[in-house]
Chain A
Protein backbone atom coordinates (compact mmCIF):
# COMPACT_ATOMS: atom_id res chain seq x y z
CA UNK A 1 0.00 0.00 0.00
CA UNK A 2 1.09 3.58 -0.48
CA UNK A 3 0.22 6.50 1.74
CA UNK A 4 -0.16 9.76 -0.14
CA UNK A 5 1.69 12.70 1.34
CA UNK A 6 1.18 15.33 2.52
CA UNK A 7 -2.11 14.02 3.85
CA UNK A 8 -3.58 16.82 5.90
CA UNK A 9 -5.67 18.61 3.34
CA UNK A 10 -7.74 15.62 2.28
CA UNK A 11 -11.03 14.62 3.87
CA UNK A 12 -9.29 11.56 5.37
CA UNK A 13 -8.79 12.20 9.11
CA UNK A 14 -5.23 11.62 10.34
CA UNK A 15 -6.57 9.20 12.95
CA UNK A 16 -7.51 6.72 10.21
CA UNK A 17 -3.85 6.53 9.14
CA UNK A 18 -2.37 6.08 12.61
CA UNK A 19 -4.27 4.89 15.73
CA UNK A 20 -4.44 8.29 17.42
CA UNK A 21 -6.01 8.67 20.87
CA UNK A 22 -7.21 12.26 21.35
CA UNK A 23 -7.54 13.95 24.75
CA UNK A 24 -11.11 14.69 25.86
CA UNK A 25 -12.29 18.29 25.82
CA UNK A 26 -12.75 19.08 29.51
CA UNK A 27 -14.79 22.21 28.73
CA UNK A 28 -17.83 20.01 28.03
CA UNK A 29 -20.73 19.98 30.48
CA UNK A 30 -22.12 16.49 29.69
CA UNK A 31 -20.53 13.46 28.08
CA UNK A 32 -21.52 10.39 26.09
CA UNK A 33 -18.65 7.85 26.08
CA UNK A 34 -18.75 4.94 23.62
CA UNK A 35 -16.53 1.83 23.59
CA UNK A 36 -17.08 -0.15 20.36
CA UNK A 37 -15.76 -3.43 18.98
CA UNK A 38 -14.88 -7.07 19.58
CA UNK A 39 -11.64 -8.86 20.40
CA UNK A 40 -8.57 -6.63 20.53
CA UNK A 41 -10.61 -3.56 19.53
CA UNK A 42 -12.88 -4.14 22.54
CA UNK A 43 -9.90 -4.55 24.88
CA UNK A 44 -8.21 -1.48 23.46
CA UNK A 45 -11.39 0.60 23.59
CA UNK A 46 -12.01 -0.35 27.23
CA UNK A 47 -8.49 0.74 28.14
CA UNK A 48 -8.90 4.07 26.33
CA UNK A 49 -12.22 4.76 28.08
CA UNK A 50 -10.67 3.86 31.46
CA UNK A 51 -7.96 6.46 30.80
CA UNK A 52 -10.46 9.08 29.63
CA UNK A 53 -12.98 8.93 32.49
CA UNK A 54 -10.78 10.41 35.27
CA UNK A 55 -10.00 13.43 33.03
CA UNK A 56 -13.65 14.48 32.67
CA UNK A 57 -14.84 17.38 34.84
CA UNK A 58 -16.07 16.34 38.27
CA UNK A 59 -19.84 16.49 38.60
CA UNK A 60 -20.60 16.51 34.85
CA UNK A 61 -23.10 13.82 33.80
CA UNK A 62 -21.31 10.96 31.98
CA UNK A 63 -23.02 8.08 30.16
CA UNK A 64 -20.78 5.15 29.20
CA UNK A 65 -22.02 2.67 26.57
CA UNK A 66 -20.13 -0.48 25.56
CA UNK A 67 -21.21 -2.19 22.32
CA UNK A 68 -19.82 -5.02 20.22
CA UNK A 69 -21.27 -3.54 17.04
CA UNK A 70 -21.27 0.06 15.85
CA UNK A 71 -25.04 0.10 15.22
CA UNK A 72 -25.60 -0.44 18.94
CA UNK A 73 -23.17 2.36 19.83
CA UNK A 74 -24.88 4.74 17.38
CA UNK A 75 -28.32 3.91 18.75
CA UNK A 76 -27.16 4.59 22.32
CA UNK A 77 -25.56 7.89 21.26
CA UNK A 78 -28.69 9.05 19.43
CA UNK A 79 -30.78 8.37 22.53
CA UNK A 80 -28.38 10.50 24.61
CA UNK A 81 -28.29 13.32 22.04
CA UNK A 82 -32.06 13.47 21.50
CA UNK A 83 -32.57 15.92 24.35
CA UNK A 84 -28.99 17.14 24.70
CA UNK A 85 -28.06 20.79 25.27
CA UNK A 86 -25.14 22.71 23.76
CA UNK A 87 -22.13 21.76 25.89
CA UNK A 88 -22.56 18.01 25.28
CA UNK A 89 -19.51 16.04 24.10
CA UNK A 90 -19.20 12.60 22.51
CA UNK A 91 -16.13 10.40 23.03
CA UNK A 92 -15.76 7.24 20.96
CA UNK A 93 -13.10 4.52 21.24
CA UNK A 94 -12.84 1.74 18.63
CA UNK A 95 -11.51 0.94 15.18
CA UNK A 96 -11.07 3.82 12.73
CA UNK A 97 -13.92 2.38 10.65
CA UNK A 98 -16.27 2.39 13.65
CA UNK A 99 -15.11 5.86 14.72
CA UNK A 100 -15.87 7.19 11.21
CA UNK A 101 -19.34 5.64 11.34
CA UNK A 102 -20.00 7.18 14.77
CA UNK A 103 -18.70 10.54 13.54
CA UNK A 104 -21.10 10.45 10.57
CA UNK A 105 -24.05 9.73 12.88
CA UNK A 106 -22.91 12.37 15.39
CA UNK A 107 -22.70 15.08 12.70
CA UNK A 108 -26.17 14.02 11.59
CA UNK A 109 -27.35 14.66 15.17
CA UNK A 110 -26.00 18.26 14.97
CA UNK A 111 -22.74 17.62 16.80
CA UNK A 112 -19.71 19.56 15.53
CA UNK A 113 -16.24 18.10 14.94
CA UNK A 114 -14.90 20.04 17.92
CA UNK A 115 -17.47 18.30 20.14
CA UNK A 116 -16.24 14.80 19.20
CA UNK A 117 -13.17 13.03 20.62
CA UNK A 118 -11.88 9.79 19.08
CA UNK A 119 -9.61 7.08 20.46
CA UNK A 120 -8.60 4.74 17.66
CA UNK A 121 -7.66 1.13 18.41
CA UNK A 122 -6.79 -0.02 14.87
CA UNK A 123 -6.60 1.32 11.30
CA UNK A 124 -6.55 -2.02 9.46
CA UNK A 125 -9.97 -1.78 7.78
CA UNK A 126 -11.81 0.82 5.72
CA UNK A 127 -15.41 1.17 4.59
CA UNK A 128 -15.49 1.62 0.80
CA UNK A 129 -18.54 2.86 -1.08
CA UNK A 130 -18.78 1.65 -4.69
CA UNK A 131 -19.76 4.46 -7.05
CA UNK A 132 -20.96 1.90 -9.60
CA UNK A 133 -23.49 -0.10 -7.55
CA UNK A 134 -23.71 1.93 -4.29
CA UNK A 135 -22.78 -1.05 -2.11
CA UNK A 136 -20.57 -0.34 0.91
CA UNK A 137 -18.04 -2.97 1.92
CA UNK A 138 -15.64 -3.08 4.84
CA UNK A 139 -12.27 -4.46 3.78
CA UNK A 140 -8.73 -4.77 5.07
CA UNK A 141 -7.21 -2.13 2.85
CA UNK A 142 -5.08 0.99 2.92
CA UNK A 143 -5.60 4.18 0.96
CA UNK A 144 -5.15 3.63 -2.78
CA UNK A 145 -5.23 -0.16 -2.39
CA UNK A 146 -7.60 -2.11 -4.65
CA UNK A 147 -10.55 -4.06 -3.23
CA UNK A 148 -13.14 -6.08 -5.09
CA UNK A 149 -16.73 -4.90 -4.68
CA UNK A 150 -18.57 -7.98 -3.36
CA UNK A 151 -21.79 -6.74 -4.99
CA UNK A 152 -20.75 -5.89 -8.60
CA UNK A 153 -17.29 -7.57 -8.65
CA UNK A 154 -15.53 -4.47 -9.97
CA UNK A 155 -12.01 -3.79 -8.70
CA UNK A 156 -12.24 -0.52 -6.74
CA UNK A 157 -9.42 1.81 -5.83
CA UNK A 158 -9.79 3.11 -2.24
CA UNK A 159 -9.65 6.80 -3.07
CA UNK A 160 -8.38 9.15 -0.31
CA UNK A 161 -11.75 10.78 0.23
CA UNK A 162 -14.07 10.04 3.15
CA UNK A 163 -17.72 11.04 3.22
CA UNK A 164 -18.60 13.01 6.34
CA UNK A 165 -22.20 11.90 5.87
CA UNK A 166 -21.54 8.14 5.71
CA UNK A 167 -17.98 7.63 6.98
CA UNK A 168 -17.09 5.54 3.90
CA UNK A 169 -14.27 6.02 1.41
CA UNK A 170 -14.96 6.70 -2.26
CA UNK A 171 -14.30 3.61 -4.39
CA UNK A 172 -14.25 3.50 -8.20
CA UNK A 173 -13.09 1.05 -10.85
CA UNK A 174 -9.30 1.13 -10.79
CA UNK A 175 -8.86 0.97 -14.59
CA UNK A 176 -11.87 3.13 -15.52
CA UNK A 177 -9.62 5.62 -17.30
CA UNK A 178 -7.90 3.05 -19.52
CA UNK A 179 -10.82 0.82 -20.56
CA UNK A 180 -11.07 0.18 -24.32
CA UNK A 181 -13.57 2.33 -26.25
CA UNK A 182 -17.14 1.08 -25.89
CA UNK A 183 -16.59 -0.67 -22.54
CA UNK A 184 -18.22 1.22 -19.70
CA UNK A 185 -17.05 1.16 -16.13
Chain B
Protein backbone atom coordinates (compact mmCIF):
# COMPACT_ATOMS: atom_id res chain seq x y z
CA UNK B 1 0.00 0.00 0.00
CA UNK B 2 1.41 3.30 -1.08
CA UNK B 3 -0.72 5.94 0.63
CA UNK B 4 0.65 7.41 3.82
CA UNK B 5 -1.40 6.74 6.95
CA UNK B 6 -2.85 9.57 9.03
CA UNK B 7 -2.51 9.44 12.81
CA UNK B 8 -5.80 10.44 14.43
CA UNK B 9 -7.21 10.75 17.93
CA UNK B 10 -10.83 10.24 18.99
CA UNK B 11 -12.21 13.60 20.17
CA UNK B 12 -15.92 12.91 20.29
CA UNK B 13 -18.38 10.04 20.55
CA UNK B 14 -22.15 10.26 20.22
CA UNK B 15 -24.74 7.50 20.29
CA UNK B 16 -27.04 8.48 17.40
CA UNK B 17 -29.23 5.40 17.93
CA UNK B 18 -28.83 2.33 20.16
CA UNK B 19 -26.66 0.69 17.47
CA UNK B 20 -25.14 3.63 15.54
CA UNK B 21 -22.29 5.62 16.98
CA UNK B 22 -20.81 8.83 15.59
CA UNK B 23 -17.04 9.09 15.98
CA UNK B 24 -15.13 12.37 15.63
CA UNK B 25 -11.45 12.04 14.75
CA UNK B 26 -8.88 14.86 14.79
CA UNK B 27 -5.23 14.89 13.68
CA UNK B 28 -2.92 14.00 16.58
CA UNK B 29 -0.67 16.95 15.87
CA UNK B 30 -3.48 19.47 15.26
CA UNK B 31 -4.07 21.48 12.11
CA UNK B 32 -6.33 20.47 9.25
CA UNK B 33 -6.87 17.17 7.45
CA UNK B 34 -6.87 16.43 3.72
CA UNK B 35 -9.99 17.71 1.94
CA UNK B 36 -12.18 15.19 0.20
CA UNK B 37 -14.96 15.04 -2.40
CA UNK B 38 -18.51 14.25 -1.22
CA UNK B 39 -19.15 10.50 -1.02
CA UNK B 40 -15.60 9.71 0.16
CA UNK B 41 -14.78 7.14 2.79
CA UNK B 42 -12.02 6.72 5.34
CA UNK B 43 -10.31 3.35 5.71
CA UNK B 44 -9.67 2.72 9.41
CA UNK B 45 -7.04 0.27 10.62
CA UNK B 46 -8.63 -2.26 12.97
CA UNK B 47 -5.94 -4.04 15.01
CA UNK B 48 -5.73 -7.75 15.77
CA UNK B 49 -7.31 -8.83 19.04
CA UNK B 50 -10.58 -9.57 20.82
CA UNK B 51 -11.34 -12.52 18.55
CA UNK B 52 -9.97 -10.86 15.39
CA UNK B 53 -7.26 -13.13 13.97
CA UNK B 54 -6.24 -10.60 11.31
CA UNK B 55 -5.98 -6.85 11.22
CA UNK B 56 -8.94 -5.37 9.31
CA UNK B 57 -9.27 -2.28 7.16
CA UNK B 58 -12.82 -0.98 7.42
CA UNK B 59 -14.23 1.73 5.17
CA UNK B 60 -16.60 4.32 6.67
CA UNK B 61 -18.24 7.18 4.78
CA UNK B 62 -17.26 10.66 5.87
CA UNK B 63 -20.27 12.75 6.85
CA UNK B 64 -18.82 16.11 7.89
CA UNK B 65 -17.15 19.17 6.39
CA UNK B 66 -15.26 18.34 3.17
CA UNK B 67 -12.97 21.34 2.68
CA UNK B 68 -9.83 21.57 4.85
CA UNK B 69 -11.64 19.89 7.74
CA UNK B 70 -10.16 20.00 11.23
CA UNK B 71 -11.89 16.70 12.03
CA UNK B 72 -13.32 13.65 10.27
CA UNK B 73 -16.78 12.38 11.22
CA UNK B 74 -18.00 8.84 10.64
CA UNK B 75 -21.15 7.04 11.79
CA UNK B 76 -20.75 3.36 12.45
CA UNK B 77 -23.46 0.72 12.76
CA UNK B 78 -22.40 -2.05 15.15
CA UNK B 79 -22.53 -5.42 13.40
CA UNK B 80 -22.42 -8.20 15.97
CA UNK B 81 -19.49 -10.65 15.64
CA UNK B 82 -21.85 -13.23 17.20
CA UNK B 83 -23.84 -12.98 13.94
CA UNK B 84 -20.75 -13.55 11.82
CA UNK B 85 -19.46 -9.97 11.43
CA UNK B 86 -15.67 -9.61 11.20
CA UNK B 87 -15.57 -7.43 14.31
CA UNK B 88 -14.37 -4.09 12.90
CA UNK B 89 -17.49 -2.13 13.73
CA UNK B 90 -17.70 -3.75 17.19
CA UNK B 91 -14.13 -2.48 17.79
CA UNK B 92 -15.16 1.05 16.74
CA UNK B 93 -17.91 0.84 19.38
CA UNK B 94 -15.27 0.15 22.06
CA UNK B 95 -13.24 3.29 21.26
CA UNK B 96 -12.98 5.96 23.98
CA UNK B 97 -12.17 9.68 23.71
CA UNK B 98 -8.40 10.03 23.58
CA UNK B 99 -7.78 6.69 21.81
CA UNK B 100 -5.35 6.86 18.92
CA UNK B 101 -6.22 5.28 15.57
CA UNK B 102 -4.67 5.21 12.11
CA UNK B 103 -6.39 5.57 8.76
CA UNK B 104 -5.63 5.89 5.08
CA UNK B 105 -6.53 9.28 3.58
CA UNK B 106 -10.07 9.60 2.18
CA UNK B 107 -10.84 7.77 -1.06
CA UNK B 108 -13.82 8.14 -3.34
CA UNK B 109 -15.73 5.70 -5.52
CA UNK B 110 -19.01 7.63 -5.27
CA UNK B 111 -18.57 11.30 -6.23
CA UNK B 112 -21.50 13.42 -7.45
CA UNK B 113 -21.66 14.01 -11.22
CA UNK B 114 -21.30 17.77 -11.35
CA UNK B 115 -23.03 18.31 -14.70
CA UNK B 116 -26.19 16.51 -13.55
CA UNK B 117 -29.25 18.77 -13.71
CA UNK B 118 -30.65 17.12 -10.58
CA UNK B 119 -29.47 14.59 -7.97
CA UNK B 120 -31.83 11.89 -6.68
CA UNK B 121 -30.39 10.35 -3.49
CA UNK B 122 -31.85 7.00 -2.42
CA UNK B 123 -30.71 5.51 0.87
CA UNK B 124 -31.53 2.81 3.40
CA UNK B 125 -30.47 2.64 7.04
CA UNK B 126 -26.81 3.48 7.62
CA UNK B 127 -26.56 4.04 3.84
CA UNK B 128 -27.55 7.62 4.61
CA UNK B 129 -23.90 8.47 5.45
CA UNK B 130 -22.36 9.06 2.00
CA UNK B 131 -25.60 10.71 0.86
CA UNK B 132 -25.31 13.17 3.75
CA UNK B 133 -22.04 14.53 2.39
CA UNK B 134 -23.54 14.69 -1.12
CA UNK B 135 -26.46 16.61 0.33
CA UNK B 136 -24.25 19.15 2.15
CA UNK B 137 -22.41 19.79 -1.11
CA UNK B 138 -25.61 20.19 -3.15
CA UNK B 139 -27.00 22.62 -0.61
CA UNK B 140 -23.75 24.62 -0.72
CA UNK B 141 -23.75 24.77 -4.54
CA UNK B 142 -27.52 25.26 -4.78
CA UNK B 143 -27.97 22.11 -6.88
CA UNK B 144 -31.40 20.56 -7.37
CA UNK B 145 -31.68 17.54 -5.06
CA UNK B 146 -34.32 15.08 -3.81
CA UNK B 147 -33.80 12.39 -1.18
CA UNK B 148 -35.73 9.16 -0.53
CA UNK B 149 -34.80 7.21 2.58
CA UNK B 150 -36.04 4.13 4.36
CA UNK B 151 -35.01 3.21 7.90
CA UNK B 152 -36.49 1.47 10.94
CA UNK B 153 -38.38 3.60 13.46
CA UNK B 154 -35.89 4.76 16.06
CA UNK B 155 -32.89 3.75 13.92
CA UNK B 156 -32.91 6.89 11.80
CA UNK B 157 -29.40 8.27 12.29
CA UNK B 158 -28.93 11.71 10.68
CA UNK B 159 -32.55 11.80 9.51
CA UNK B 160 -33.45 15.10 11.24
CA UNK B 161 -30.30 16.68 9.82
CA UNK B 162 -31.10 15.46 6.31
CA UNK B 163 -34.68 16.69 6.42
CA UNK B 164 -33.49 20.12 7.61
CA UNK B 165 -30.80 20.31 4.90
CA UNK B 166 -33.18 19.51 2.04
CA UNK B 167 -35.78 22.01 3.18
CA UNK B 168 -38.59 19.55 2.47
CA UNK B 169 -37.16 17.65 -0.54
CA UNK B 170 -36.62 14.54 1.60
CA UNK B 171 -39.10 11.72 2.08
CA UNK B 172 -38.35 9.33 4.94
CA UNK B 173 -40.41 6.17 5.33
CA UNK B 174 -40.21 3.24 7.74
CA UNK B 175 -41.47 0.21 5.84
CA UNK B 176 -40.31 -1.53 2.69
CA UNK B 177 -43.70 -1.67 0.94
CA UNK B 178 -44.26 2.07 1.24
CA UNK B 179 -40.70 2.67 0.10
CA UNK B 180 -41.02 0.40 -2.96
CA UNK B 181 -44.16 2.23 -4.09
CA UNK B 182 -42.51 5.62 -3.51
CA UNK B 183 -39.37 4.60 -5.42
CA UNK B 184 -41.38 3.25 -8.37
CA UNK B 185 -43.25 6.54 -8.58
CA UNK B 186 -40.27 8.89 -8.17
CA UNK B 187 -37.90 7.22 -10.68
CA UNK B 188 -40.62 7.71 -13.30
CA UNK B 189 -40.81 11.43 -12.79
CA UNK B 190 -37.29 12.90 -12.85
CA UNK B 191 -36.17 15.55 -15.33
CA UNK B 192 -33.82 14.38 -18.09
CA UNK B 193 -30.29 14.99 -16.83
CA UNK B 194 -30.95 13.62 -13.32
CA UNK B 195 -28.40 11.21 -11.81
CA UNK B 196 -29.37 8.72 -9.08
CA UNK B 197 -27.12 7.77 -6.16
CA UNK B 198 -27.92 4.89 -3.86
CA UNK B 199 -26.39 3.39 -0.74
CA UNK B 200 -27.73 0.65 1.51
CA UNK B 201 -27.74 -3.14 1.89
CA UNK B 202 -27.10 -5.15 -1.29
CA UNK B 203 -30.71 -6.34 -1.64
CA UNK B 204 -31.94 -2.77 -1.30
CA UNK B 205 -29.59 -1.46 -3.97
CA UNK B 206 -30.61 -4.33 -6.26
CA UNK B 207 -34.21 -3.13 -5.92
CA UNK B 208 -33.15 0.45 -6.77
CA UNK B 209 -31.24 -0.71 -9.86
CA UNK B 210 -34.19 -2.83 -11.01
CA UNK B 211 -36.75 -0.04 -10.55
CA UNK B 212 -34.53 2.49 -12.31
CA UNK B 213 -33.90 0.12 -15.23
CA UNK B 214 -37.62 -0.63 -15.49
CA UNK B 215 -38.26 3.12 -15.74
CA UNK B 216 -35.78 3.44 -18.61
CA UNK B 217 -32.72 4.73 -16.70
CA UNK B 218 -29.47 3.79 -18.46
CA UNK B 219 -26.84 2.34 -16.11
CA UNK B 220 -24.66 5.45 -16.59
CA UNK B 221 -27.19 7.53 -14.64
CA UNK B 222 -27.28 5.21 -11.60
CA UNK B 223 -24.42 5.25 -9.05
CA UNK B 224 -24.07 2.93 -6.07
CA UNK B 225 -21.82 2.87 -3.00
CA UNK B 226 -21.47 -0.73 -1.85
CA UNK B 227 -20.71 -1.74 1.74
CA UNK B 228 -19.18 -4.99 0.51
CA UNK B 229 -20.01 -8.07 -1.50
CA UNK B 230 -23.15 -9.77 -0.21
CA UNK B 231 -22.61 -12.60 2.23
CA UNK B 232 -20.56 -15.06 0.25
CA UNK B 233 -20.61 -18.81 0.61
CA UNK B 234 -17.30 -20.39 1.64
CA UNK B 235 -16.77 -21.72 -1.89
CA UNK B 236 -15.30 -24.97 -3.17
CA UNK B 237 -11.60 -25.75 -2.69
CA UNK B 238 -9.21 -25.13 -5.59
CA UNK B 239 -5.48 -24.99 -6.29
CA UNK B 240 -3.35 -22.08 -7.37
CA UNK B 241 0.00 -22.11 -9.13
CA UNK B 242 2.34 -19.23 -8.41
CA UNK B 243 6.01 -19.05 -9.43
CA UNK B 244 6.20 -22.82 -9.93
CA UNK B 245 4.70 -23.59 -6.53
CA UNK B 246 1.24 -25.11 -6.01
CA UNK B 247 -0.91 -23.88 -3.11
CA UNK B 248 -4.19 -25.38 -1.84
CA UNK B 249 -7.06 -22.95 -1.24
CA UNK B 250 -9.53 -24.77 1.04
CA UNK B 251 -13.23 -23.96 1.31
CA UNK B 252 -13.74 -20.97 3.62
CA UNK B 253 -10.27 -19.54 2.92
CA UNK B 254 -9.82 -16.81 0.32
CA UNK B 255 -7.14 -16.84 -2.36
CA UNK B 256 -5.72 -13.72 -0.70
CA UNK B 257 -5.43 -15.47 2.67
CA UNK B 258 -3.90 -18.58 1.08
CA UNK B 259 -1.29 -16.51 -0.77
CA UNK B 260 -0.43 -14.59 2.39
CA UNK B 261 -0.08 -17.77 4.43
CA UNK B 262 2.31 -19.09 1.76
CA UNK B 263 4.47 -16.00 2.27
CA UNK B 264 3.38 -13.95 -0.77
CA UNK B 265 2.65 -10.27 -0.38
CA UNK B 266 -0.46 -9.07 -2.18
CA UNK B 267 -1.47 -5.39 -1.93
CA UNK B 268 -4.93 -5.29 -0.37
CA UNK B 269 -7.26 -2.98 1.43
CA UNK B 270 -10.93 -3.75 1.94
CA UNK B 271 -10.73 -7.56 1.67
CA UNK B 272 -14.38 -7.60 0.60
CA UNK B 273 -14.37 -7.15 -3.16
CA UNK B 274 -14.89 -3.41 -3.29
CA UNK B 275 -11.64 -1.46 -3.43
CA UNK B 276 -9.72 -3.06 -6.31
CA UNK B 277 -6.33 -3.23 -4.55
CA UNK B 278 -5.84 -7.01 -4.63
CA UNK B 279 -6.29 -7.51 -8.39
CA UNK B 280 -4.15 -10.48 -9.42
CA UNK B 281 -3.33 -11.35 -13.07
CA UNK B 282 -4.46 -14.81 -14.19
CA UNK B 283 -2.26 -16.67 -16.70
CA UNK B 284 -3.01 -19.39 -19.23
CA UNK B 285 -3.49 -22.88 -17.81
CA UNK B 286 -6.26 -21.63 -15.53
CA UNK B 287 -9.84 -22.85 -15.39
CA UNK B 288 -12.55 -20.14 -15.44
CA UNK B 289 -12.72 -17.58 -12.64
CA UNK B 290 -15.77 -17.36 -10.36
CA UNK B 291 -15.87 -13.55 -10.01
CA UNK B 292 -17.57 -12.39 -6.79
CA UNK B 293 -16.31 -8.80 -6.49
CA UNK B 294 -18.03 -5.47 -7.05
CA UNK B 295 -14.98 -3.82 -8.62
CA UNK B 296 -14.25 -5.33 -12.06
CA UNK B 297 -16.44 -4.41 -15.03
CA UNK B 298 -18.35 -7.07 -16.94
CA UNK B 299 -15.76 -6.86 -19.75
CA UNK B 300 -12.91 -7.29 -17.24
CA UNK B 301 -14.63 -10.36 -15.82
CA UNK B 302 -15.33 -11.88 -19.24
CA UNK B 303 -11.63 -11.57 -20.20
CA UNK B 304 -10.79 -14.14 -17.49
CA UNK B 305 -7.30 -12.62 -17.17
CA UNK B 306 -7.46 -11.27 -13.62
CA UNK B 307 -9.42 -11.60 -10.40
CA UNK B 308 -9.85 -9.94 -7.02
CA UNK B 309 -8.04 -12.33 -4.71
CA UNK B 310 -10.06 -11.42 -1.60
CA UNK B 311 -13.42 -12.83 -2.78
CA UNK B 312 -13.11 -14.55 -6.16
CA UNK B 313 -12.29 -18.22 -6.76
CA UNK B 314 -11.72 -20.82 -9.49
CA UNK B 315 -14.39 -22.93 -11.20
CA UNK B 316 -13.80 -26.47 -12.43
CA UNK B 317 -14.50 -27.48 -16.04
CA UNK B 318 -15.89 -30.84 -17.25
CA UNK B 319 -12.42 -32.34 -17.55
CA UNK B 320 -10.26 -30.27 -15.19
CA UNK B 321 -10.40 -29.49 -11.47
CA UNK B 322 -10.58 -25.83 -10.41
CA UNK B 323 -7.11 -24.30 -10.74
CA UNK B 324 -5.62 -20.84 -11.28
CA UNK B 325 -2.18 -19.85 -12.51
CA UNK B 326 -1.40 -16.41 -11.14
CA UNK B 327 1.52 -13.99 -11.46
CA UNK B 328 2.32 -11.69 -8.55
| Residues of A in contact with B (beta carbons under 8 Å apart) | 25, 27-30, 81, 84-89, 109-115
Docked complex Cα distance between A28 and B221 (Å): 13
| A29 x B216 contact (CB < 8 A) | yes
CB-CB under 8 A from A84, the residues of chain B are 191-192
CB-CB under 8 A from A25, the residues of chain B are 218
CB-CB under 8 A from B50, the residues of chain A are none
Docked complex Cα distance between A111 and B192 (Å): 7
CB-CB under 8 A from B190, the residues of chain A are 85-86
Residue in B closest to A112 when the chains form the complex, CB atoms: B220
Is B117's CB within 8 Å of the partner chain A? yes
Other CB < 8 Å A-B pairs besides A85-B191, A86-B216, A86-B221, 9 of them?
A27-B218, A28-B216, A29-B216, A81-B192, A86-B187, A86-B217, A112-B221, A114-B218, A114-B219
State which of A29, A111, A113 has its C-beta within 8 Å of the C-beta of B215: A29
Q: List 21 A-B contacts (CB under 8 A).
A: A25-B218, A27-B213, A28-B216, A29-B188, A29-B215, A84-B192, A85-B189, A85-B192, A86-B190, A86-B193, A86-B216, A87-B215, A87-B216, A87-B217, A89-B216, A109-B193, A110-B117, A110-B191, A113-B220, A114-B218, A114-B219
CB-CB under 8 A from A29, the residues of chain B are 188, 215-216
CB-CB under 8 A from A28, the residues of chain B are 216
| B218 x A112 contact (CB < 8 A) | yes
State which of A88, A113, A114 has its C-beta within 8 Å of the C-beta of B192: A88
| B215 x A115 contact (CB < 8 A) | no
| B192 x A110 contact (CB < 8 A) | yes
Is B194's CB within 8 Å of the partner chain A? yes
CB-CB under 8 A from B221, the residues of chain A are 86, 112
| With A86-B187, A86-B221, A87-B188: A110-B215 Cβ-Cβ less than 8 Å | no
Residue in A closest to B192 when the chains form the complex, CB atoms: A84
Residue in A closest to B222 when the chains form the complex, CB atoms: A86
Q: Which of A30, A84, A110 has the largest count of B CB atoms less than 10 A from its CB? A: A110
Docked complex Cα distance between A115 and B193 (Å): 11
Docked complex Cα distance between A154 and B237 (Å): 69
Docked complex Cα distance between A115 and B115 (Å): 16
| With A85-B188, A86-B187, A86-B221: A110-B193 Cβ-Cβ less than 8 Å | yes
CB-CB under 8 A from B220, the residues of chain A are 112-114
Docked complex Cα distance between A88 and B217 (Å): 9
Residues B199-227 near A (CB distance < 8 A): 213, 215-221
Residue in B closest to A29 when the chains form the complex, CB atoms: B216
| With A84-B191, A109-B192: A27-B117 Cβ-Cβ less than 8 Å | no
Residue in B closest to A80 when the chains form the complex, CB atoms: B192
CB-CB under 8 A from A114, the residues of chain B are 218-220
Residue in A closest to B195 when the chains form the complex, CB atoms: A86
CB-CB under 8 A from A88, the residues of chain B are 192, 216
Docked complex Cα distance between A28 and B216 (Å): 5
Docked complex Cα distance between A86 and B189 (Å): 7
Residue in B closest to A60 when the chains form the complex, CB atoms: B216
Residues B246-305 near A (CB distance < 8 A): none
State which of B115, B191, B219 has its C-beta within 8 Å of the C-beta of A86: B191
CB-CB under 8 A from B189, the residues of chain A are 85
Residues B103-150 near A (CB distance < 8 A): 115, 117
Q: Which of B194, B213, B216, B219 has the largest count of A CB atoms less than 10 A from its CB? A: B216
Docked complex Cα distance between A85 and B190 (Å): 5
Docked complex Cα distance between A48 and B212 (Å): 29
CB-CB under 8 A from A110, the residues of chain B are 115, 117, 191-193
Q: Mark B28-44, 1 if CB is under 8 A from A, else 0.
A: 00000000000000000
Residue in A closest to B116 when the chains form the complex, CB atoms: A110
CB-CB under 8 A from A109, the residues of chain B are 192-193
Residue in A closest to B117 when the chains form the complex, CB atoms: A110
Docked complex Cα distance between A81 and B191 (Å): 9
Docked complex Cα distance between A111 and B187 (Å): 16
